[in-house]
Structure 1
Amino acid sequence: MNTDFLLNERHIISESAFVELAVRPVPSPHSVGRPLFEYRLSLFVKGKCVLCHGSEAVEGDPEPTGKGLVSCVFTSPEALLSHFWNDVDQWRT
Structure 2
Amino acid sequence: MDAVLIAKERTSLSEDAFYEIVVWQVPSPVPGSGHGFKYRLALVVRGECILRYDNERGKGDHRHIGEREEPFEFTTLEALLTAFERDMERMLA
Same fold (TM over 0.5): yes
- Aligned partners of 2:74, 2:68: CA distance in 1, in Å? 18
Q: CA RMSD in A?
A: 2.9
Matched residue count: 87
Q: Identify, as 1 or 2, the structure richer in strand.
A: 2
Confirm or deny: 8 A CA contact 1:40 1:55 kept in the other structure: yes
- Aligned partners of 1:30, 1:84: CA distance in 2, in Å? 20
Relative to the length of structure 1, the TM-score reads 0.74
Q: Which runs of 4+ in 1 moved over 3 A?
A: 27-31, 67-71
Which runs of 5 or more structure 1 residues have no equivalent in the other structure? 58-63
Which runs of 5 or more structure 2 residues have no equivalent in the other structure? 58-63
The share of aligned pairs that are identical, in percent, is 37
Aligned match of 2:42: 42
Relative to the length of structure 2, the TM-score reads 0.74
Question: CA deviation digits over 1:19-74, x for unaligned, max 9?
Answer: 0101111234889x7321111100001122111011126xxxxxx68254454222
